Chains A and B, each alone.
Chain A
Amino acid sequence: MIPVLLGVSFLVFTILSLTPGDPGSIILGITAKPEDIARLNAEFGYDRPFFVRFFTYIGNIVFHLDLGTSYATRQPVINSIMARFPNTLLLAAMAMAVECLLGVSMGIISAVRQYSVLDRVMVVVALVFASIPGFWLGLMLITVFSIRLKLLPVFGADTLRHFILPTLTVSLTSAAGLLRLTRASMLETVRQEYIRTAQAKGAGERVVIWKHALRNALIPVITSMGTGFGASLGGAIIAETVFSMPGMGTLMTNAIRQKDVPTVMGATLFLAVMFSVVVLIVDILYAFIDPRIKAKYRNEGRGRG
């Protein structure tokens, strides 16, 4: 993990240094005096050479656990991150729950009843939702639930109610993809020999689907959900923008625009850590879903010992 983080930080730091503009002139604008710009850049330490800045930055993290101070807000980067990450995490978790509930269950039904009217309807609906742009869906939800019905708020992240519309915006579009993936994976599995064997030995349809087919079909679905969840920790920029929610996505985009190097770096590293943790959890989950994987690890362990 540490080489990954070092690599990520070096890469991002380099790219940021290569982009045009310096923080002083971006903050102060076109009418600023050159000496004021230089003074501000010196205050940020931005006038020093690239490698000095990079190693000072890494040094502060390693020795002081300090992610630095934002150029724009002049406050510790960790504060900016912690003000937003809980919202992002909650939104990602709620969206995944809804996505999973809708996508996986409808995918299973669709596969089991392949070519039925229900299947065709669901596939078409999924296609429609997968094609709807997120910001448009968000605005339509606002029009219906906030302006017409006055039931749900347009902006903010104070209570769970504020999360309902953003969650729907994020999950409806991605649930569609998950439905299609689950359906395809299920259809492939039910054609396998061991399913026919299970049916031949007289197991009921329920048992065959739940115990034999689903478990095997879920592996690609979980992989997709895991990476999807990891990525959504980076923030749902569209939902955050439409619903004015403080989240990681808008934090990063604003920071990049303002060339707020410490904030971009801090947020990137934070997300890299989070993403690694999620991938690890997904790997562990595999073992629970598919005993063959657990067995493989156990055998390897035994072989070495």
Chain B
Amino acid sequence: MKKTAFLTGTILALCLTTGVFASDRTDINIAIDSDIESLHPSDWNTTNEKNIGDQIYDTLMYVPMDGNMDKVEPRIASGYTQSEDGLVYTFTIRSDVTFHDGTPLTAEDCAFSVQLYIDSEYQGTSADVGSVEAPDASTLVVTLNAPFAPFLSDICAMHIGSKAYHDAASEEDFMTKPIGSGPYKFVSHAIDTNVILEAYDGYYRGEPAIKNVNYYVIKTTAPQALMSNQVDFAEIDASALPMLQAMPDIVVSPVPTSGYSHLVMNLEKAPFDDVRVRQAINYAINRENIVNVIYEGEAEVNSNICAKTRYGYSDDQLQYTYDPDKARELLAEAGVEEGTDLGSILCAEKYSNLATVLQADLAAVGLNAQIDVKEFNAFIGQLTSGDFSLCALEMTLEGDTQMLEYALTTPFIGMANNARYSDETMDRLFEEARVEPDNEKRLALFDEILNKAQNEAVYAVICNPQILYAYHKDLTVTDFVLEGNYYLFDYAWN
């Protein structure tokens, strides 16, 4: 009994101290929704693994995910030059960077890490890399066999690990006890429980304001943990929004993502081979309604496969709006009769609500569809093999806008080109964008690509769901750019 009283007292005292001396805090508690399995520089797989890796490892340079080249900052590399033909990238590596074990970081470590990415099954680059060399300790030279315009953002997303540590440690240690050169060093990981990091005092950009970082694995109750002050920062579901908005000391920031929710039409099957039918379906969808009903308002209406803050997007590209009359007109023109059966909308359990609303929208213009809910792996199997008519899902093709070739070009049919769209002009445009070094010309190419995709209604894109970050109001955070990557180095308590 006495012990309980003591414990309660301590807890109350702790609550009080955190309330009163919030400004003295140098720790941060962050909720993650699933455990991590790997903190390997290149062999990671989930957003949580990437986010934690971003604190432990540094990169050659910082390139924001929205491709805004004005905001590129030097990191391990103080700068770079590119040869005339766009094939040779030469990075100058700083000499004052050290790994968490105290050893200096050299160009050799950078070359090793880039090679890790190229060889990795998990991550990589679409560039055709010829050689990665470190002629001396402060120079990294990467030579491509063919120009690849987004290569800088690709290479600058790579986490730089230690070659010496890789050679000395077991494969398992290298993956689970990472040594990086970033602002935070790895302390411990308890399976399904937490990951603990602490500030690295030898970090070349200075020590961060937040010294101790605790990531807690919280599967479903992150909002509750925020409300009881057990965590300070968490990604939350839109459904928790009303509950958290009622809390005066919690701020919620919506973050745009390039992920898109959409209806796939199998172009290999009639009537979806008729562009008018695809346009009609695009006009038949009430996107505002879907955003309100399915995403609780936390998504940006957008019929374009390219997110609005992403490189290459323009408001001049065609936007499909809700216009059922126009849809009926187009269907009549295409000779599709009232009450035509389109087959089923394939979906996984998590997309079944989306499919239901889409089914109702199609019914409103006289198109019938059934819903076919499959277990996730079966769903993916059926989707990639083209064994479906319609399919409702969310996709993410992160990185440079060049990534959209996965959804729109012939070589990716059977992978992520779910519409099975094959068009010579489109394939050629992506090939040109891939090698175009000039920014203006490249933007023009993407404009052509996206106009073409929109006019031909290759997909029926609905919206870009947003990530919601909720955090304590006393925590100073930096603006979240596309995809919501964050660097705790820039955070502080006021």
Interface residues of A (CB under 8 A from B): 19-21, 25-28, 30-34, 36-37, 39-40, 72-75, 79-80, 83-84, 139, 142-143, 146-147, 150-151, 153-158, 161, 241-244, 246, 250-251, 254, 257, 259
- Which residues of chain B in 1-26 are interfacial with respect to chain A, using CB atoms and an 8 Å cutoff? 7-8, 11-12, 15
- Which residues of chain B in 210-228 are interfacial with respect to chain A, using CB atoms and an 8 Å cutoff? 216-221, 224-225, 227-228
User: How many B residues face the partner with a CB closer than 8 A?
Assistant: 46
Taken together as a complex, chains A and B put the C-alpha atoms of A87 and B228 apart, in Å, by 23
B224–A146 touching, CB < 8 Å: yes
- Which residues of chain B in 409-423 are interfacial with respect to chain A, using CB atoms and an 8 Å cutoff? 415-416
Interface residues of B (CB under 8 A from A): 7-8, 11-12, 15, 34-35, 37-38, 45, 121-122, 171-172, 175-176, 190-194, 216-221, 224-225, 227-230, 375-378, 380-381, 383-384, 395, 397, 406, 415-416
Taken together as a complex, chains A and B put the C-alpha atoms of A254 and B192 apart, in Å, by 11
Hey, which chain B residues are within 8 Å of A80, CB to CB? 191
Hey, which chain A residues are within 8 Å of B220, CB to CB? 241-242, 244
B221–A244 touching, CB < 8 Å: yes
Hey, which chain A residues are within 8 Å of B11, CB to CB? 150-151
Hey, which chain B residues are within 8 Å of A40, CB to CB? 121
Ordered by A's residue number, 24 sampled pairs between the chains whose C-beta atoms are within 8 Å are: A27-B45, A30-B395, A31-B406, A31-B415, A32-B121, A32-B415, A37-B121, A73-B37, A74-B37, A75-B176, A146-B224, A146-B228, A147-B227, A150-B15, A150-B228, A153-B230, A154-B218, A154-B230, A157-B193, A158-B193, A241-B220, A244-B217, A250-B192, A259-B377
With A155-B218, A244-B218 as known contacts, state yes or no: A30 contacts B384, CB within 8 Å: yes
Hey, which chain B residues are within 8 Å of A27, CB to CB? 45, 122
In the A-B complex, the 5 residue pairs with the closest CB atoms: A21-B377, A246-B192, A83-B191, A36-B121, A20-B378
A147–B192 touching, CB < 8 Å: no
B397–A25 touching, CB < 8 Å: no
CB distance from B151 to the nearest CB of A (A): 18
Hey, which chain B residues are within 8 Å of A75, CB to CB? 172, 176
With A30-B415, A72-B37 as known contacts, state yes or no: A20 contacts B228, CB within 8 Å: no
B172–A242 touching, CB < 8 Å: no
B219–A244 touching, CB < 8 Å: yes
Taken together as a complex, chains A and B put the C-alpha atoms of A73 and B49 apart, in Å, by 12
Taken together as a complex, chains A and B put the C-alpha atoms of A241 and B217 apart, in Å, by 11
Hey, which chain A residues are within 8 Å of B37, CB to CB? 72-74
CB distance from A168 to the nearest CB of B (A): 15
A147–B377 touching, CB < 8 Å: no
Taken together as a complex, chains A and B put the C-alpha atoms of A21 and B375 apart, in Å, by 10
A20–B375 touching, CB < 8 Å: yes
Taken together as a complex, chains A and B put the C-alpha atoms of A259 and B377 apart, in Å, by 9
